[in-house]
Amino acid sequence: MKNKTISRRHFIAGTAMASAGLLMPGSLAWALTDKKQRYRIAVVDLMILKRQKLSAFQLAKEIGADGLEVDMGGLGNRETFDNKLSDPIIRQQFLDKAKELNLGICSLAMTGFFAQSFATRPTWQKMIQDCIDTMKAMGVKVAFLPLGVQGDLVKNPELRPAIVERLQVAGKMAQQAGVIIGIETSLDARAEVQLLKDIGSDAIKIYFKFANPVKGGRDLCQELKILGKKRICMIHCTNEDRVWLQNDPAINMQEVKRTLDKMGWEGWLVVERSRDQSNPTNVKWNFGANVAYLKKVFQG
């Protein structure tokens, strides 16, 4: 915060959240939303069990987030996503609700590719176009594209040529629309740098996920440094489910902040997981705790 004064309106809002058990002790100030913040905190509508539901915005507000990552909808055997936002009436409802609650829509997520193959799916280009069209209609600048299980380039290196070729096309599509597609891979940072070079598009960047280097036994902060400021469009700022971020010995969040500060990076930190195993289905309890902790670290 630029000053230590909390307005009466913000104080009342923060007190209500604290009373509801959504803020950790001493974290009242971190309930405030400030668009001028270098780091802003969002949650994923899919992970708070509100995939493409209007009520996700109210829940995100109650959790204390600054914004929401909105999913493009399920995929299955369809030609493209089951995207309710293609309906202009529903789309406007989402935009109106975000404005009403002073929440940002940080990104649109193509999570259907977690289980489907980006390398072999015949209708992949239609899906990318549908996402880009929705982004343009909603004023969203970043899309999340996970290469997923079937697109794991460590386990399936033979898919690399097809994935690079498709991402080159997707990059041209995104560039023309003035948006960014952030990819999540299983590669280490140096391999991701080379992948981006092979793709050769400023519109394709890395959507960094803390859980990947932690799971791979790599130094999280070193991976951030290798990628650098310009290659990272957004960050899924959580680990796999086990404990809350504040109780996770695998991530030194203060060191992460120092690293990002020195890199000059700024943007959205998006809470995906890090749910406490003792009660993983309690959405407000888990996501509220993680959001409050990230706000304390990154917005203090």
β-pair partners for 42: 67, 270
pLDDT over 60 at 160, yes or no:
yes
- Per-residue model confidence (pLDDT) at position 34: 52
Which of the pair, 11 or 255, is modelled with greater confidence? Answer: 255
Digit-coded pLDDT (tens) for 238-295: 999 999 999 999 999 999 999 999 999 999 999 999 999 999 999 999 999 999 999 9
Contacts of 184 (CB under 8 A, 6+ apart): 144, 145, 146, 147, 206, 207, 208, 209, 212, 236
Digit-coded pLDDT (tens) for 177-234: 999 999 999 999 999 999 999 999 999 999 999 999 999 999 999 999 999 999 999 9
Distances in Å between the Cα of 201 and the Cα atoms of 58, 119, 170, 285 are: 36, 18, 9, 40
Distance CA 18, CA 20 (A): 5
Q: What is the mean pLDDT of residues 137-147?
A: 98
Helix (H, G, I), strand (E, B) or coil at 126: helix
Sorted by where each starts, the structural domains of the chain and their CATH numbers stand as 37-298 (3.20.20.150)
Gyration radius from the chain CA atoms: 19
β-pair partners for 108: 70, 143
- Which of 22-26, 53-57, 169-173, 288-292 bottoms out in mean pLDDT, i.e. has the lowest? 22-26
Pick from 120, 130, 122, 149: nearest CA to 71:
130
Give the orientation angle of helix 283-298 with respect to helix 253-263, to 10 degrees: 50
Where residue 35 falls among pLDDT bands split at 50, 70, 90? low
Q: What is the pTM of this model?
A: 0.88
- Per-residue model confidence (pLDDT) at position 84: 97
**104 near 65, Cβ under 8 Å?**
no
Digit-coded pLDDT (tens) for 92-122: 999 999 999 999 999 999 999 999 999 999 9
